[in-house]
Amino acid sequence: MSDSLTKAAKKLSEVVNSLSFGEPTSFIYNPLDYAWSIHQQYLKLAGVGKKKVVFLGMNPGPFGMAQTGVPFGEIPAVRDWMGLKGTVEKPNPEHPKRPVEGLDCAKSEVSGRRLWGLFSEKFPDGKDFFKDHFVANYCPLVFMEESGRNRTPDKLPAFEKKPLEEVCDKHLQEIVEILEPEWLIGVGGFAKKRAEKALKGMEIKIGTILHPSPASPAANRGWADAATKQLKEQEIWR
């Protein structure tokens, strides 16, 4: 299964690289290219066997997957809990305010710290988590404005968004076909909405948890407890 996921990720990377994006998007990072080594290790670790749950995020954060190639890839979680290692190359061009330093990046991805922190608390051994769970991002690209400001895919104009969504929808369908999960859990409203459109007609239940972003007041009031409660209410966790 991890081989099928690897092929699908390679294909996704090639197709999104062929898409065009204009101002105010000035820089685009594709960690499936420059952080491929660690991403491939992640797929080999996490992509074995059928899953009960696939968690879906929006796109890479600047200090998470943009650095490590792993969705929500907070560095201590990737390095210590998952046990992944390797060299990350540089995107070209690289924004001077958003350098890619790989596993040496000292900054924290708060969303990733919260998400993987919850998972590692419940499953101290990462292999136990990945027996039934998989984490993916809907879109693999990072979009930045000239200032270095992050630009999320939902902010793209329709003529740029539509071809990107077609590619990402197809890849999400492939993930579900390969892993055959019972549940797709959107991490936040955007991911749930895209999953509902992309997976319409497929045999899968779609749910959601609160996004762990520090920009969310609700997430800042105790995200782990809120997300755990949601997963229990949906009878995904006990």
Residue 2 is predicted with a pLDDT of 76
Distances (CA, A) of 18 to 14, 30, 65, 152, 158: 7, 12, 21, 19, 17
Which residue ranges make up each domain of the chain? Answer: 2-231
Summarize pLDDT for 67-124 with one digit per residue, the tens. Answer: 999 999 999 999 999 999 999 999 999 999 999 999 999 999 999 999 999 999 999 9
Q: What end-to-end distance do the CA atoms of the chain give, in Å?
A: 27
The whole model's pTM is what? 0.97
Summarize pLDDT for 3-39 with one digit per residue, the tens. Answer: 999 999 999 999 999 999 999 999 999 999 999 999 9
- pLDDT at position 144 over 90: yes
User: Do 141 and 16 contact (CB within 8 A), yes or no?
Assistant: yes
CATH superfamily for 2-231 is Uracil-DNA glycosylase-like domain (3.40.470.10)
Overall average pLDDT of the 181-209 stretch: 97
What is the rounded distance in angstroms from the CA atom of residue 93 to the CA atom of residue 95? 7
- pLDDT at position 196 over 80: yes
Task: Give the number of other CB atoms < 10 A from CB of residue 156.
Answer: 18
Overall average pLDDT of the 55-66 stretch: 97
**What percent of the chain stands above pLDDT 90?**
99
Residue 1 is predicted with a pLDDT of 76
What is the rounded distance in angstroms from the CA atom of residue 189 to the CA atom of residue 61? 16
What does residue 217 show for φ and ψ, rounded to 5 degrees? -55, -40
Q: DSSP 3-state assignment of 16?
A: helix
- pLDDT at position 128 over 90: yes
